[in-house]
Structure 1
Amino acid sequence: MVFHKLTARKHDPLPLRGDITQYDSQELRRLQQAELEILDAIDALCQREGITYFLDGGSVLGALRHEGFIPWDDDIDLGMPRPDYDRFIEAARTSLPDNLTLALPGETPNYAPMFAKVMRKGTKFLTEETLEAGFDQGIFVDIFPYDDLSPNEKIARSQLRQARFWQSASYLYHAKSVHVPHRGIVGSIESAACKGCHYALRLLLNEEKLHTRFNESLNTDTEGSTRCATLAWAQSEGYDTDDMLPTRLESFEGRKLPVPGNAEAYLTRTYGSNWRSLPPLDQRQNHAPIELAF
């Protein structure tokens, strides 16, 4: 095992999620290769079981803009329609290679996300948040379930609002040092408010209640739905299901992997119409690990 300790930028009081970490180029590439090995195992399982999945988030952007990782990216995101996600979880419990393990909401202790991770055993990818939560996070690939949104716009907005609330509550319950949208005085106020919420949530809730409340936000009538969203990470207003499925294949690190069928529409909705252009240097973000061990 090789161990590295990474240091966040000195002007930041804490290495918050989303801040840039200056990897050594060889180290970042080694991390990406480790994640590709996890991805290959997931792809093999999905092919064997007939499970639909697709590259998600920045991994879609990387596929279409770079034919692989965004050069500074340090993770892989996958999406699955909820029925396929449920099938994947059940198959992965027994069929993943021995060197991989699942982290699951409601099952894995001290685990804040409402989506699954496939992690490589014996590795570390630790952030301030995972350390505070007591979650021993390894090198991982994220897997996001896509849920149908109600065709009733008022109910759909309620779905998204409740999912965001309980998702945020889970992160605040597990750690007081979470990513805030601003810096300076405003950011300090936001950070202080988050710490207050953290202690209040620890008094009022537990992990079981958090996941029960989140799952309740999924239980609504979605018959006739034409839109879907990652309610487990509800950062958008959702996508037209016809833009997501069926998938198509695109190049990613020498592989042909599935992406949303209308990936261009997906990327425009997610990142804006200028997604083909590289962002400024100060906006090139990754996950800022504090400890990384292969």
Structure 2
Amino acid sequence: MDAENIIKNALIETMDEFHRVCEENDLKYYLIGGSLIGAIRHKGCIPWDDDIDVIMPQKDFEKLLLLRPHFAEPFELQHRSFTDSLMLPIARVENKAVIIDEGYYSGMHTGVFIDVFCFNDTFSSKLLQRMHFKIAAGARLLLRFKDRTYSKGKYSTYYLKLFELVSRIFLLFPRALLNLLVNKAEKLGQFGGRKKYLANLHGVWKTKEIAPKSLFHKRKLYEFEGRQYWSIEDADAWLRPIYGDYMQLPPEEDRVPKHIEKIISINGVKVDS
């Protein structure tokens, strides 16, 4: 089996486990991003994609973090609040049967993963929304420097040396302090009365990933690689403002994996590079 299929199979196994835990504990989640596009356009993974993205309401996300022991081996729930091995602003469910290198400067190896984002309340004002995202991005950057999770192939040698210097400074900052700063940044939107909008503060599309809470009142199951996973019933209302015509395939040169540099091992057996 080639690397592409190994990763795809590991992703589906991981998503199956995440779906099981959510169903058994009455937690809501939604496929988003390329994973939702894949469900609609391909009835499964986008052929060249190498991750799965989901998002949860904040109360469900917080309940999920309490359910770490409910995940069966080789799956592990990871979050910065209870592990030193992952200082990202989101949670992940990792499949430890397939260990990969994401190409980070830190050389961090993880299991094939699905990313679990959290919806946070945000403001109705466009100006305050932008400020909320900028504050969250600043807090997120602190985590990135702490664990040196920036791509080796994305930056010049000059910038990598500069980042390394900054990262050494952030080694002095306690993880608990950085966690607190990120948590406070995420929850800024709770101030000032009842909120009508939800935001994916750590999404790559920034303020485009804001929508009325009413959009997420109705879910439906989408076919996905012979399974069924949950997402927004009116998926077009979420996807079109972000991607435009998401049914159109991207240029061929953009149809490449973007998250995994190489496979390190499979079931404990090292893979030759």
Place the TM-score, normalised by the shorter chain, in its bin.
0.7 to 0.9
Cα shift readout 1:73-114 (whole Å, capped 9, x = no counterpart): 1111111111111111212x2211132112111332242311
**Partner residue, 1:178:** 151
Q: Which structure would you say has the larger RCO, counting Cα contacts within 8 Å and 6 or more residues apart?
A: 1
**Partner residue, 1:49:** 25
* SS of alignment partner, residue 40 of structure 1: helix
Given residue 2 of structure 2, which amino acid in structure 1 is its aligned partner?
Q
Q: Are 1:115 and 1:144, in contact at CA under 8 Å, matched by a contact in 2?
A: yes
TM-score, structure 2 as length reference: 0.85
Tell me which moved more, 230-239 or 277-286. Answer: 230-239
* SS of alignment partner, residue 246 of structure 2: coil
Give the distance between the partners of 2:87 and 2:136, measured in 1 at CA.
14
Tell me which moved more, 95-104 or 228-237. Answer: 228-237
In the TM superposition, residue 47 of structure 1 has moved relative to its aligned partner by 1.0
**Is 1:283–2:254 an aligned residue pair?**
yes
**Structure 1 segments (4+ residues) deviating >6 Å:** none
**Partner residue, 2:35:** 59
Give the distance between the partners of 2:30 and 2:103, measured in 1 at CA.
29
Q: Are 2:61 and 2:118, in contact at CA under 8 Å, matched by a contact in 1?
A: yes
Cα shift readout 1:98-144 (whole Å, capped 9, x = no counterpart): 32112111332242311111112243111221xx4354311111111
Query: Which of 47, 59, 70 in structure 2 is aligned with 1:95?
Result: 70
Distance 1:216 1:202, change over 3 A: farther
TM-score, structure 1 as length reference: 0.79
Tell me which moved more, 157-166 or 145-154. Answer: 145-154
Give the distance between the partners of 2:180 and 2:153, measured in 1 at CA.
26
Query: Which of 154, 159, 183 in structure 2 is aligned with 1:215?
Result: 183
Distance 1:68 1:134, change over 3 A: same
Distance 1:218 1:264, change over 3 A: same
**Partner residue, 1:163:** 136
**Partner residue, 1:7:** none
In structure 1, stretches of 5+ residues that fail to align are: 1-24, 182-186
**Partner residue, 1:8:** none
* SS of alignment partner, residue 160 of structure 1: helix
Distance 1:167 1:103, change over 3 A: same
* SS of alignment partner, residue 247 of structure 2: coil
Give the distance between the partners of 1:251 and 1:212, measured in 2 at CA.
38
* SS of alignment partner, residue 139 of structure 1: strand
**Is 1:192–2:158 an aligned residue pair?**
yes
**Partner residue, 1:230:** 200
Is the strand fraction higher in 1 or 2?
2
Query: Which of 93, 97, 102 in structure 2 is aligned with 1:118?
Result: 93
Distance 1:250 1:267, change over 3 A: same
* SS of alignment partner, residue 165 of structure 1: helix
Distance 1:70 1:267, change over 3 A: same
Count of aligned residue pairs for this structure pair: 259
In structure 2, stretches of 5+ residues that fail to align are: 267-273
Q: CA RMSD in A?
A: 2.3
Q: Are 2:56 and 2:118, in contact at CA under 8 Å, matched by a contact in 1?
A: yes
**Is 1:246–2:218 an aligned residue pair?**
yes
Identity across aligned pairs (percent)?
23
Distance 1:195 1:168, change over 3 A: farther
* SS of alignment partner, residue 77 of structure 2: strand
Cα shift readout 1:128-173 (whole Å, capped 9, x = no counterpart): 21xx435431111111111111234433222111111221332233
